[in-house]
């Protein structure tokens, strides 16, 4: 998780799984160094299930959104996912197994009023994942 100061509720929900089948690590999907540090801290860099759920929203008329805010949204919603997959996919290929779970949005299939940029980021996620799935299948990655 990006902010470890918010781990209390997750630890409570994890119960007996905490530090057995669930380990909480710090990771910022917008920072390659943070991703590498987190992955390198794992035994053998092994990740069996990658869950990509980082995301931010943006709602309002396009002319009210700044380009920098749009870039930040894409940096999290699309490039955050790409950074994580790029870091872990070679390891999953080597181990010939793994699962990549992506939290997207119905707005990656159909746009919605005043959600232009958010929808665009989710369309990008959908296209990336559809293409990636074809490659990953050859390495027993679901």
pLDDT attached to residue 2: 87
Spell out a b/e string for 53-64, using b for 16 or more CB atoms within 10 Å of the CB, else e.
ebbeebeeeeee
d(CA 128, CA 141): 15
pTM of the model: 0.89
pLDDT attached to residue 136: 92
Q: Is residue 127 a part of any domain in this protein?
A: yes
Query: Please, which contacts does 127-134 make with residues 24 or more away whose CB atoms are closer than 8 Å?
Result: 128/78, 128/81, 128/82, 129/100, 129/102, 129/104, 132/85, 132/100
CATH of the domain at 117: 3.40.50.720
pLDDT attached to residue 98: 96
pLDDT attached to residue 65: 97
pLDDT attached to residue 106: 87
Domain count, the chain: 1
Q: Which of 30, 65, 63, 55 is nearest to 108 (CA)?
A: 55
Q: Is 5 helix (H, G, I), strand (E, B) or coil?
A: helix
Q: Which of 27, 138, 137 is nearest to 87 (CA)?
A: 27
Q: Is residue 75 a part of any domain in this protein?
A: yes
> Among positive and negative, which fits the CA dihedral 11, 14, 15, 20?
negative
Residues of the chain with pLDDT under 50: none
pLDDT attached to residue 21: 81
Q: Is residue 142 a part of any domain in this protein?
A: no
Q: Which domain, by its residues, includes 133?
A: 4-137
Q: Is residue 99 a part of any domain in this protein?
A: yes
Length of the chain: 142
Catalytic residues: 118
The tokens describing 115, both together, are 């959600």
């Amino acid at each position: 998780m990006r902010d470890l100061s918010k781990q209390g509720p997750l630890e409570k929900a994890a119960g007996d799984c905490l530090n057995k089948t669930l380990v909480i690590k710090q990771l910022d999907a917008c920072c390659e160094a943070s991703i590498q540090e987190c992955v390198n801290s794992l035994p053998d860099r092994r990740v069996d299930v990658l869950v990509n759920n980082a995301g931010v929203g943006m709602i309002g008329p396009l002319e009210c959104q700044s380009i920098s805010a749009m870039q930040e949204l894409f940096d999290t919603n699309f490039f955050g996912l790409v950074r994580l997959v790029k870091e872990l996919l070679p390891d999953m290929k080597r181990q010939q197994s793994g699962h990549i779970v992506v939290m997207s949005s119905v707005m990656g299939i159909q746009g919605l009023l005043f959600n232009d940029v958010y929808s665009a980021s989710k369309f990008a996620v959908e296209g990336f994942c559809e293409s990636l799935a074809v490659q990953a299948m050859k390495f027993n990655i679901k």
